Chains A and B, each alone.
Chain A
Amino acid sequence: MNWRKVWTIARHEYLTNIRRTGFIVMTAIVPALGIIGLILTVLLLPRGEDVAAWLERQFDIGRKPIGVVDRSGYFTPILPEHQGTFVLYESPEAAEAALRADELQAVLVIGEDYLQSGEITALTRESFGEAAIADSERVRTFLIAHLLAGQVDPAISHRVADPLENLQARILSETGQERGGGMVFTFLIPYFLAIFLIMTIFSSSGYLLQSVAEEKENRIVEIIISSVRPTELMAGKVLGLGALGLTQVLVWLGSVWGFTGGMASLLALVGNVGIPARVFILGVVYYLLGYLLYAVLMAGVGALGTTMRESQQLAGIFSFIAVIPYMLASFVMINPNAPVARVFSFFPLTAPTMMMLRIPMGEVPWVDIVGSIGALLLSLPVALWFGAKLFRVGLLIYGKRPTMREIWRILRS
C-alpha cells in the first residue's frame, strides 16, 4: 500500500465532491434550520411563557371540536370546561353537515340506553379517525366528567377523568442527572439528528458508488489502475469520501449543539437541556463504523456494474437492508429496548442505523452498545476482503454485467 497515492486519491475525491451542489445544500440545511428556528423563537415567543410548552405546541396537530348528538341526556348541557372542544347538535343530520363542512373533527352519536349498552356511534371523515377516537384521551375525559357530574365531589370527578393530568416525566441519566426540557429537546432534536447522521452514511457511500461507477463508465479507470493498485484506489476513495461525510456530520453536530444551546440560554430555559455528550460521541462512532462498512461494500458492488444505473441497481440490496431500522422507527420510539430493536442492533448491516435511532430515545443497555460495536468491528475485515475482491475484478469488466455465478467464481478464486 503506497500511502502517498492513497492520500492523493483521497484528496482528489474530497475536493471534487465537496463542490457538488447536492452536498453543499445538504450540509447547509441543518445550520439553516437552526437559524430559522432561533429567529422564529425570538420573534414569535410571547414573553414569559413556558418555552418548552410553547415549543411542544408547535408540534401539535391542530384539532377541531367534536360534535355530540346526545340521546341519553347525560351530556346535556356540556360542562363549562368542555365547551368549545365539544359542541352539541340536535340531530345527526345537522352534525353530519358540519362534519362535511370540515368544521368538526368527528361526530359522536350517544345512544338512548348508553348507560346500559355503552353504545356510541362515531362518524369521521378519515378511516384513521375511528381508531383515534376510540382511545382518545379527550373523549374519555369528556364522557367520565359528564357521567360523574353532580354525583361526586367535583375534585374527585376531575381527578378520575384525568388521573395523569400533571405527569412529570423525568429521565434519570447514567450520571444521575435529571433531564427536563420537554419532548422537543429530549427526543425530537436528537432523533432528527440521528436520522441526519444515517442519511450521511448513505449519501457518502452513495457518492462512493457514484465515483466508482463513473470512473468505470467513462473508462478512466483503465488509466488509474495502470498507476495505482486497486486496493489503493479503494482505500483512497473510502477515506476521502469518509472525510467528506465526517465534515458534514461535524457541521451538523456543531450547529445543533450551538443552536440548541443558544436557544436554551436565549430563552433562559431551566434544567440540563439539550443533547447529552454520549449521543454525540456514540453518534460519531456509529457514523464511522457504519460508513466504513457500507463504503467498502458499495465500492465492491459499484465496480461490478458497467454503468452508473446498473451499479445503483446492484447496490439496491444493501439499501433495502439499511432501510429496515427506519421501518421499525415507530416501535423504537416507543420502546428503544424492544427485542426486535435489540436483535437488529447486533446485525452488522443494521447495527449503526438501529443504534443511532435507539440511543437518543433513552438508556440503552451497555451490552447492546458493546455488542453492536463488536459486531461491526468483526464484520469489517470480512467486508473489506469481499469489497476489495469484487472491486479489483469488477473494474475491468466492461460491456456485460457479470452473472451471479461469475460473481461467485470471482469470490472463490
Chain B
Amino acid sequence: MILQVHHLTKRYGDLVAVDDLSFEVEPGEVFGLLGPNGAGKTTTIRMILDIIPPDSGHITVLGNSPAAAQPRIGYLPEERGLYRNVQVLDMLVYLAELKGADRVRARQRALEWLARMGLEDRAHSKVKDLSRGMQQRIQIVAAIVHDPDLVFLDEPFQGLDPVNVERVKGVIADLRREGKTVVLSTHQMNLVEVLCDRILLINRGRSVLYGPLAEIKRQFAPHAVRVRAPEIPPGLPGVVAVEIKDGAFHLSLAEGTAPRDVLRALVDRGVDVQAFEVAPVPLEEIFIQVVTVAQDESCATDQEE
C-alpha cells in the first residue's frame, strides 16, 4: 500500500473535521478523494502531509511516517499561490530544493515539465505577468517537479479552459504511466469517472462511500435500460414504467427481469431499436444521493436529540 489511514480523527474545538476515517490507496492508481465543501478533504490531506497533526489515528505513507515521507510527496493545494516577483524557473527549482531535490536535476525536470505544459517560453517570466491559467499549470508543475511517488492534486481543473483540462488530464495519465500514484480531489464528477480507479466519498468527516468506481456504479445502477427507438409499444413484460430521459426511453424493470428479456421482447415486436444499454448512473447522481441522504439522516438524529 502506498497510503494507509487508520481511524484518523481531527477536532477543531467542537467541530469534528475528520471523524474516525480509514482508507487505503494502492500503488499506481488514481484515487478520487471526494466530498462536498467542508467535508474534511483538505484537513485529511494536510494530516497526511504532516502539515497538521491528527488528534488520533495512524497514517503510513510510502511505508513511513508522514514526516519522513514528505520529500516523496507532491502537493497541489486548493488554496493556490505562487511567489509573484520571482522568475518561474527559479521558483520551481527552489520549491524542488525544499523537497530535498538536487538543484541541477530539479532545473532540468522543471524545464521538461514546463515544455509539456506548453510553457517553455515562460521559464524566465515573473509569475505576476502570467495569466491565471498559466499560473495554474505552473502550480501543477510545482507539485511534481521533484519527481514524487505520490501526488495530491486538490481541484487541479479549477479555472482551466477545455484545452488545459485536456492537458492536465494528460499529465495525470503520464504520471500513472510512470507508475506514480495520484490522489485527486475535485468536484467535477465527469472527470472522476474518466480518471479514477477507486474513490472515497466523505461527508462531515466520515467515509460514506469507498471502493472501486466500477463496483460503486454497479451497486447504484437502477434496474433499468435505456433504449433509443422511434417508439416503445405498451405492455412489454417486466417493464414497470417508461419515461423519456435525455432523448431516449428509460424503461424501469420489475425485479427478476433481465435486460436481455426486454431486448428480445422489443425485437420480437419489430421495434426498430437503434441503441440499447443498461441504464448508467452518473457519479454526480450517486454523489448527490449519498450526501443528501446522509444530511437527512443527520437532521433526523439532530431532531431526535
**A233 — nearest CB in chain B belongs to which residue?**
B98
**What are 19 A-B interface contacts by the 8 Å CB criterion?**
A5-B100, A8-B98, A12-B94, A16-B85, A215-B81, A217-B81, A218-B83, A219-B80, A220-B83, A222-B75, A222-B81, A223-B75, A223-B77, A225-B51, A226-B49, A226-B70, A227-B71, A227-B98, A396-B51
Asked if B193 is at the interface (CB within 8 A of a chain A CB), the reply is: no
Contact of B142 among A5, A12, A221, A223 (CB under 8 A): A223
Contact A219 B79 (CB under 8 A): yes
Bound Cα distance A225, B70 (Å): 10
Interface size on A, residues (CB 8 A): 22
Label chain B's interface by main secondary structure: loop
What does the 1/0 interface line of A204-229 toward B look like (CB < 8 Å)? 00000000001101111111111110
Q: Which residue of A lies closest to B45 (CB)?
A: A226
Given contacts A16-B85, A226-B75, 6 further A-B contacts (CB under 8 A): A219-B77, A220-B83, A224-B95, A225-B51, A226-B73, A227-B70
Q: Distance (Å) between the CB of A308 and the closest chain B CB?
A: 12
A331 at interface, CB cutoff 8 A: no
Q: Which residues of A contact B85 (CB under 8 A)?
A: 16
A12-B94, A227-B95, A227-B99 are contacts. A398–B79 as well, Cβ < 8 Å?
Answer: yes
- Contact digits for A270-282, partner B, Cβ 8 Å, 1 yes 0 no: 0000000000000
Contacting A at CB under 8 A, from B118-143, are 142-143
Point out which of A4, A9, A226 has the most chain B C-beta atoms below 10 A from its C-beta: A226
The closest CB in chain A to the CB of B146 belongs to A227
B84 on interface, CB distance cutoff 8 Å: yes
Cβ B98 vs Cβ A5 within 8 A? yes
Residues of A within 8 A of B98 (CB): 5, 8-9, 224, 227-228
Determine whether B97 belongs to the interface, using a CB cutoff of 8 Å to chain A: yes
Give the contacts of B267-298 with A (CB-CB under 8 A).
none
Binary interface encoding of chain B residues 61-96 relative to chain A, with 1 for a CB under 8 A from any of its CBs, else 0: 000000000110101010111111110000000110
- Distance in angstroms between the alpha carbons of A220 and B77 in the assembled complex: 9
Chain B hits for A226, CB < 8 A = 49-51, 70, 73, 75, 77
Q: Which of B49, B79, B85: most chain A CB closer than 10 A?
A: B79
User: What are the residues of chain A within 8 A of B50 when measuring CB–CB?
Assistant: 226
Contacts of B99 in A (CB 8 A): 227
Smallest beta-carbon distance B76→chain A, Å: 8
Tell me, rounded to whole Å, the shortest Cβ–Cβ distance linking B185 to chain A. Answer: 14
Minimum-distance CB pairs A-B, first 9: A219-B81, A218-B81, A227-B98, A219-B79, A222-B77, A226-B49, A220-B81, A226-B75, A8-B97
Chain B residues near A227: list those with CB within 8 A: 70-71, 95, 98-99
Rounded to whole Å, the gap between the CB of A337 and the closest CB of chain B is 47
Closest residue to B95 on the A side, CB-wise? A223
Chain A minimum-CB-distance residue to B91? A220
Does chain A have a CB within 8 A of B1? Answer: no
* Min CB–CB distance A4 → chain B (angstroms): 8
Nearest chain-A residue to B154 (Cβ)?
A: A222
Interface centre among A9, A219, A223, A224 (most CB of B within 10 A): A223
Cα of A295 to Cα of B14 in the assembled complex, Å: 35
Chain B positions within 8 Å of A16 at CB level: 83, 85-86
CB-CB contacts of A1-39 with B at 8 A, as 1s and 0s? 000110011001000100000000000000000000000
- In whole angstroms, how far apart are the Cα atoms of A225 and B73 in the complex? 12
| CA–CA, A217 and B82, complex, Å | 10
Residues of chain A with a CB closer than 8 A to B83's CB: 16, 214-215, 218, 220
CA distance A224 to B100 in the complex (A): 12
A396 adjacent to B81 (CB under 8 Å): no
- Smallest beta-carbon distance A216→chain B, Å: 9
- B77 contacts A8, C-beta separation under 8 Å: no
Name the contact of A222 in the complex, choosing from B73, B79, B100 (C-beta under 8 A): B79
Instruction: Enumerate chain B residues within 8 angstroms of A223, measured Cβ to Cβ.
Output: 75, 77, 81, 95, 142-143
| Complex Cα spacing A9 to B83, Å | 14
Which residues from chain B contact A228 at a C-beta distance below 8 Å?
98
Residues 254-277 of B at the A interface (beta carbon under 8 Å): none
Contact, CB under 8 Å: A396 / B73: no
